[in-house]
């Protein structure tokens, strides 16, 4: 039976009231998502979402509604016979593509639709998404990747060779994931809106839980950043990793100066030091601050932009985003290119459903694409997970594989009802 109908929801959580998610660029985020459900008549097939931080979420909902029409009339058999079909349907409309192309609201919305189709396929197979993808033959999995604008960097034949090489040992890596989990770092301790007491308490609690890699938000005031980095080292010592995130607030020269002034605190990486589209500035910063690495990608619009970041050696850590890119298909392309470049994939996961999503992508990368965890970590942000039917399983600073069938973003019905605001009443409620 074909997909016959869908529903959308404008979901918003008032996280700004508690300082969660705050950084030098985004001072008052209300974590939100445009949420999609695909149906065959009355039967729910699959669900997908795309993340925003509040205002404008209704634009993504409208775009999801427009793009979801593209998959109506197609069956799951159709999508399983051609893993690139859903992506082509939502990205291939010439008039809609003009609104991007392959960036902005329409691209965010495409992720919700494409991911909902993959969620439906995995649920039909009775497998979590990462296990479902890891069961696909290499040549068929590459059908999901559009090589049109990236084959000058990565040839399909080369990618197929890697996948075939890793195929016989997939089961060993699956077993390792189930026993030992996947390494992670936590952002939840270091939002810029936290005062010293909150920062210290969260650092100590996280260290007690087994975390060894932490991230602090920086970029508002240099002396304040130096003080907070010193407070971090005084609290946890020198045996743990410290990464920083500037959220795009600096120019090239300012970034080089600022990171140099923080280097004494043994920084692992600086994230988004400059404008997210400025590949050449990223490269210049990377050269100047080495051996501190540059991490970026959560705002990189599409696989072509990632290709250029990797070609230019402008990043040391590749931060894919499950919703900024157009779903599973485009993330597969970027992870394959990252392997070609020898750059570890470390997904962005701050936001509604992003931890739930990207755990699958990192596990696919490890099992099928790269076969390696070297230098790789998944971001962890510790809020809102209880709103999902299968919250992430994070223990001792590691993600353990999801077991429930699908892509792990099934919002609980009570949460969906309580935090959906289709008529703008969320903002009226906040003002009151």
- 63-67 LR contacts (CB < 8 Å, sep 24+): 63/34, 63/105, 63/106, 63/108, 63/109, 64/8, 64/34, 64/36, 64/109, 64/112, 64/113, 65/6, 65/8, 66/96, 66/109, 67/96, 67/106, 67/109, 67/110, 67/112, 67/113
Instruction: Give buried/exposed letters for 43-54 (b at 16+ CB in 10 A, else e).
Output: eebbbbbbbbbb
C-alpha closest to that of 114 among 36, 44, 58, 42: 36
CB atoms within 10 A of CB 400: 17
Beta bridge partners of 184: 378
C-alpha closest to that of 84 among 72, 92, 95: 92
Active-site residue list: 217, 348
Three-state secondary-structure class, residue 352: coil
Tell me the HSE value of 230 on the side-chain side, using a 13 A CA sphere: 7
For tokens 């600096």, the residue is: 250
């Amino acid at each position: 039976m074909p997909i016959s109908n869908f529903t959308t929801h404008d979901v918003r959580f008032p996280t700004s009231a508690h300082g969660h998610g705050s950084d030098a660029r985004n001072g008052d985020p209300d974590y939100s998502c445009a949420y999609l459900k695909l149906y065959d008549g009355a039967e729910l097939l699959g669900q997908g979402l795309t993340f925003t931080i509040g205002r404008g979420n209704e634009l993504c909902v409208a775009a999801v509604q427009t793009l979801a029409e593209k998959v109506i009339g197609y069956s799951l058999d159709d999508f399983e016979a051609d893993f690139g079909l859903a992506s082509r349907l939502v990205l291939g409309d010439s008039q809609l593509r003009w609104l991007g192309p392959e960036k902005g609201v329409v691209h965010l919305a495409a992720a919700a639709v494409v991911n909902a189709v993959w969620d439906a396929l995995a649920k039909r197979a009775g497998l979590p998404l990462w296990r479902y993808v890891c069961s696909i033959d290499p040549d068929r999995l590459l059908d999901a990747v559009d090589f049109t604008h990236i084959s000058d960097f990565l040839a399909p034949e080369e990618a197929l060779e890697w996948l075939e090489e890793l195929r016989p040992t997939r089961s060993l890596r699956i077993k390792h994931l189930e026993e030992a989990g996947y390494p992670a770092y936590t952002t939840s301790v270091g939002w810029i809106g936290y005062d010293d007491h909150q920062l210290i308490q969260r650092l100590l609690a996280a260290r007690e839980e087994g975390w060894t890699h932490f991230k602090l938000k920086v970029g508002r005031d240099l002396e304040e950043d130096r003080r907070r980095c010193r407070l971090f080292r005084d609290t946890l010592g020198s045996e743990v990793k410290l990464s920083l995130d500037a959220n795009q607030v600096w120019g090239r020269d300012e970034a080089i100066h600022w990171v140099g002034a923080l280097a004494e605190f043994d920084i692992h990486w600086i994230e988004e030091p400059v404008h997210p589209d400025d590949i050449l500035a990223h490269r210049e910063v990377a050269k100047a601050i080495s051996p501190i690495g540059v991490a970026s990608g959560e705002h990189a619009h599409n696989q072509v932009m990632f290709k250029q970041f990797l070609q230019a050696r402008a990043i040391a850590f590749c931060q894919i985003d499950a919703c900024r890119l157009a779903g599973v298909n485009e993330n597969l392309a970027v992870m394959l290119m990252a392997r070609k470049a020898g750059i570890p994939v470390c997904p962005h996961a701050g936001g509604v459903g992003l931890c739930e999503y990207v755990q699958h992508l990192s596990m696919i990368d490890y099992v099928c694409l790269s076969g390696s965890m070297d230098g790789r970590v998944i971001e962890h942000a510790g809020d809102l997970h209880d709103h999902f039917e299968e919250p992430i399983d994070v223990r001792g600073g590691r993600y353990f594989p999801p077991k429930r069938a699908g892509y792990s973003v099934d919002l609980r019905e009570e949460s969906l009802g309580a935090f959906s605001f289709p008529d703008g009443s969320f903002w009226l409620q906040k003002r009151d």
